[in-house]
Structure 1
Amino acid sequence: MYSSSLKFLLPLLLLLVVPRISGDDGGQDDPGQQWCIADVQTPDDELQTAINWACGQQDVKCDMIQENQSCYQPNTTKDHADFVFNSYFQNHKNKGGNCYFNGAALITEQDPSHDNCHFEYLS
């Protein structure tokens, strides 16, 4: 009787006792993480205006989207806006900043990092 009961209880006990092993969870370790990215429907000229504004603000890492830097490729206005918007958002969200950019941006819970381009997340 014990052996048949243990056969069913052991997997349940393991799920409760063994800590979660970090695996492929969509790039998220903390389900509350949020990143700010450009809205794909926003025209490039509006994105560029928002990039220019954000790059004029303190603590925005616009150097990372310059040629030969890790977030330059893909070299599109949308991809550069993704990085700059997130850099602004992460560094200003706790000081009253937001992810709006005149309607050109939105929040995602999917880490937009790619290749060697790491999008920061600050709690």
Structure 2
Amino acid sequence: MSAMLKLSFVFSEANDRKWCIAKPSTPDAQLEMNIQYVCESQRYHKIDCSAIRPGGSCYNPSNKVSSASMVIDLYFQPEGQTTNACHFNGSGMIVYENPSE
């Protein structure tokens, strides 16, 4: 095992907290589809998206990346923080630092 691979493996084991956010380069149409999928389909979990809706504490219609990041992480966490749960047609990415801090 290479030193880089070993270091990466050790780091990921030591830091088991992960978040899924939207890639900043994602087109608005894809971000909207992600939000709609998470907030309206609710096949697996009942996800409360009221924070990004008008009147919500995180409502900001001019920042779709932020809104999409919030809801896709709400989906990602109960799905076990798996790579597949953060795919969103290639528009999601896993990060190891809390994006809300």
TM-score by length of 1: 0.60
Of structures 1 and 2, the larger Rg is shown by: 1
Q: Which has the higher contact order (CA 8 A, sep 6+)?
A: 2
Query: 1: CA distance between counterparts of 2:95 and 2:83?
Result: 19
| Corresponding position of 1:40 | 24
| Corresponding position of 1:113 | 100
CA RMSD in angstroms comes to: 2.4
Moved more, 52-61 or 31-40: 52-61
Instruction: Indicate the percent of aligned positions where both proteins have the same amino acid.
Output: 34
Point out where structure 1 has 5 or more consecutive residues left out of the alignment.
1-29, 115-123
State the Cα distance separating 1:59 from its structure 2 match.
2.4
Query: 2: CA distance between counterparts of 1:104 and 1:95?
Result: 15
| Corresponding position of 1:76 | 63
State the Cα distance separating 1:42 from its structure 2 match.
1.0
Moved more, 95-104 or 41-50: 95-104
Query: 1: CA distance between counterparts of 2:93 and 2:33?
Result: 16
Instruction: Classify the secondary structure of the residue corresponding to 1:107.
Output: strand
State the Cα distance separating 1:74 from its structure 2 match.
7.1
Instruction: Classify the secondary structure of the residue corresponding to 2:66.
Output: helix
Residue by residue, what CA displacement relative to the aligned partner does 1:96-122 show, whole Å, maximum 9, x if unpaired?
9611111110001111125xxxxxxxx
Point out where structure 2 has 5 or more consecutive residues left out of the alignment.
1-13
TM-score by length of 2: 0.71
Query: 2: CA distance between counterparts of 1:95 and 1:32?
Result: 11
Question: How many residues end up aligned between the 2 structures?
Answer: 85
Instruction: Classify the secondary structure of the residue corresponding to 2:78.
Output: helix
